Structure 1
């Protein structure tokens, strides 16, 4: 008997979590089910996100601090650490944290449990690189502004924020998800005084041009 479709499982779990006014609780349930072999994490990968890896090619992070938001199965975090950054990576699901520590026993990454919507105060403004890859889009639209403000708050003076996210045409079904892809207007929420867009790119999906990927680099001004 085949396992249920992982995307459908995640949608069902998210719907139940939202119905219980717990928009992030479904991540722990999903990771536990994956650990038990009942499903797969839909975003599981064996390599870093290609758009992130291409952006960071040739970078040297030695002497700098990075944070990876919603590290998933850890591939992006390990990649960022491999180019020299002192890397912190967090997930809201405790099971994801224990799985990453087990999968990468000799990792230089500090894998921790934390909630994007309630960040530790000591992280604010601390990092020279903030990596937001496909995490904000896993939160429902009413939480977007709060989540995006939290992402930006991690960026230290002179730092860089790299955002990779699924895009959707505004004429599409904005309520279908998860994920709930980001519109261009939502990308604009990342911008605020002192935060500027260095480069914004869009890559439509060849098989469905109504969707695609954003890759945007933001910079925070130095004092």
Structure 2
């Protein structure tokens, strides 16, 4: 068996060459055949920085949250446990099927949806938007399109929490996944949101991987 990351890069490149740079997501999850252990990038636990932030900023029960590219559902379930009414969406039907099977009794609304063709009722409709690592696995103009689409989910007085790999501004590497630099993540400010928290840190991998964890609010 080959290296899973190398195989994923080849898969993504194949779809990009066909003019369908996002099409590989479904094939990747379909290949997993419902086996969550084959989704090699999944931590199978919620992001601890997300939990720290939400626990430090409790909100009234029932506020709406959406998890962009929800993968296997861990972050969506964590937000549900903290009182949010949660939508988790992914472009991959196989990923959503895995979420529903992992959490068969969950009230989280797991939905197949395309970030570039979202339901009109979702626009500016969520008090909390969580984006983790979606932009970094896109290429070209789709990165800016994705950032703009994510920002448009944030309701007045709502916020988007962004977790992603980071890189220095003079690093022009196109190695997959393509990490965000400070100018790129500042696109949320250019979309009309206000930065309220920003953390640059190295994770605990060997060698460590630099990350950003940032929060942006749409002022009412």
Q: Aligning the two structures, in what range does the TM-score lie when normalised by the shorter sequence? A: over 0.9
Deviates more, 1:80-89 or 1:34-43: 34-43
Determine helix, strand or coil for the equivalent of 1:168: coil
Q: What is aligned with 1:127? A: 126
What's the offset of the Cα at 1:141? 3.4
Per the TM alignment, residue 51 of structure 1 is displaced from its structure 2 partner at its CA by 1.8
Query: How far apart are the structure 2 equivalents of 1:38 and 1:16?
Result: 24
Deviations 1:154-191 (A, max 9, x none): 000000110000001234352111x1111111011111
How large is the Cα RMSD of the aligned pairs?
Answer: 1.9
Contact 1:133 1:165 (8 Å CA) reproduced:
yes
Q: Which ranges in structure 1 are unaligned for 5 or more consecutive residues? A: none
Moved more, 57-66 or 100-109: 57-66
* Alpha-carbon shift at residue 68 of structure 1 (Å): 0.3
Q: Does 1:200 align with 2:201?
A: no
Cα distance in 2 for partners of 1:6, 1:136 equals: 20
The correspondence of residues 1-223 of structure 1 with structure 2, limited to 5 A, is 3-35=1-33, 40-58=38-56, 59-177=58-176, 179-192=177-190, 194-205=192-203, 207-208=206-207, 211-222=209-220
Number of residues of Structure 1 aligned to a counterpart in Structure 2: 218
Unaligned runs of 5+ in 2: none
* Conserved? CA contact 2:34–2:98, under 8 Å: no
Structure-2 separation of matches of 1:147 and 1:198: 21
**TM-aligned CA deviation for residue 39 of structure 1:** 7.9
CA distance in 2, matches of 1:131, 1:36: 24
Cα deviation 1:3-43 (Å, max 9, x = unaligned):
32221121111001101111111000000111166982232
Partner SS, residue 57 of structure 1: helix
Q: CA deviation at 1:117?
A: 1.5
Q: Say if 1:69 and 1:18 are closer, same or farther in 2 by CA, change over 3 A.
A: same
Shift in CA distance, 36/220, structure 1 to aligned 2, threshold 3 Å? closer
Is the contact between residue 45 and residue 73 of structure 1 (CA under 8 Å) also seen in structure 2? no
Cα 1:27–1:141 change in 2 (3 A) is same
Q: Which moved more, 1:48-57 or 1:153-162?
A: 48-57
